[in-house]
Amino acid sequence: MLDLQNIIKRFYVGKPNELEILHGVNLKIKRGEFVSIVGASGSGKSTLMNIIGALDRPTEGEYHLDGIDICKAKDKELSRIRNQKIGFIFQTYNLVARTNALQNVELPMLYGRKGRTDRNKRAKELLELVGMEDRMNHKSDELSGGQKQRVAIARAMANDPAILLADEPTGALDSKTGRLIMDIFHRLHQEQNKTVILITHSNELAEETERILTIKDGLITGERKGSLSYAGA
């Protein structure tokens, strides 16, 4: 499903310097897998996530997502692929401030084909799924971190993407709340067959996924099985 070959990412930091952050990452992820990518701060996790999520292009290398050549796709196609295939979850939640939970979840559907009533229905169902139905009229600023992250997961699910890409989703949460968020990912993986890619610096959380990849200084340096067994796609 995801096939990254020899991905190099350099950032231009003013003439004549380019900073190489990813030095040739190879990575394959199957449909329905629950994978974690673990590494220290600054190891290149978010840079890699931006490439996996087609938010950014590699400087060199090849990336195929469901057979589509991401490096050759036009910007417009990339944004279509992102909207259809990938749900993003960030450490900082990135909800729209002063906008209620329901509207936040409806937002990604505004560009799709669903009418107002269907968007509303879907958003309510998703908020129910993450246990936030009784808070749907609360503005995002009025929610706790864990509640915001639950709304963010519901929003990521809005267009029913095959892939959930989460960058340190529990990084700003206490361990009990982080546990609750992990349970939601486990449920979406098991019950809805989502491919979940969890980026974290917590070995403990990574341990409960199917496959753990370690990233160090811009290279995948190791791979091992987690405690969750692969259920197949």
Q: Is 97 helix (H, G, I), strand (E, B) or coil?
A: coil
Which one of the spans 25-33, 36-44, 84-92, 116-124 is the region binding ligand ADP (CB under 6 A)?
36-44
Q: Which residue stretch of 30-38, 45-53, 63-71, 170-178 sits at the interface with ligand ADP (rule: CB under 6 A)?
A: 45-53
Go through the chain and tell me how many residues it has: 233
CB of 7 to ligand ADP, least distance (A): 12
Q: Could you tell me which stretch among 35-43, 68-76, 137-145, 147-155 binds ligand ADP (CB under 6 A)?
A: 35-43
Task: Name residue 167's beta-bridge partners.
Answer: 90, 199
Q: Is 13 in the site for ligand ADP (CB under 6 A)?
A: yes
CA angle 79, 85, 89 (to 5 degrees): 90
Distances (CA, A) of 120 to 109, 123, 125, 225: 10, 5, 9, 40
Which of ligand ADP, Mg ion, none has residue 39 at its interface (CB below 5 to 8 Å by kind)? ligand ADP
- Structure-token pair, residue 44: 């290149």
Number of residues lying near ligand ADP (CB under 6 A): 12
- CB atoms inside a 10 Å sphere around CB 166: 26
Nearer of residues 21 and 65 to ligand ADP, judged by Cβ: 21
39 binds ligand ADP (CB under 6 A): yes
Note whether 200 binds ligand ADP by CB under 6 A: no
Which CB, 46 or 159, lies closer to ligand ADP? 46
DSSP collapsed to 3 states, 172-230: CCCHHHHHHHHHHHHHHHHHHCCEEEEEECCHHHHHCCCEEEEEECCEEEEEEECCCCC
Query: For residue 110, which amino acid is it?
Result: L
For residue 215, the minimal CB distance to ligand ADP (Å) is 7
Sign of the torsion angle spanned by Cα atoms 212, 92, 40, 179:
negative
29, 36, 47, 108: which one binds ligand ADP (CB under 6 A): 47
Token pair for 227: 């405690």
45 near ligand ADP (CB under 6 A): yes
**Contact pick of 42, 115, 131, 222 for ligand ADP (by CB under 6 A):** 42
- Of 2, 4, 44, 189, the residue at the interface with ligand ADP (CB under 6 A) is 44
Q: Which residues bind ligand ADP (CB under 6 A)?
A: 11, 13, 19, 21, 39, 41-47
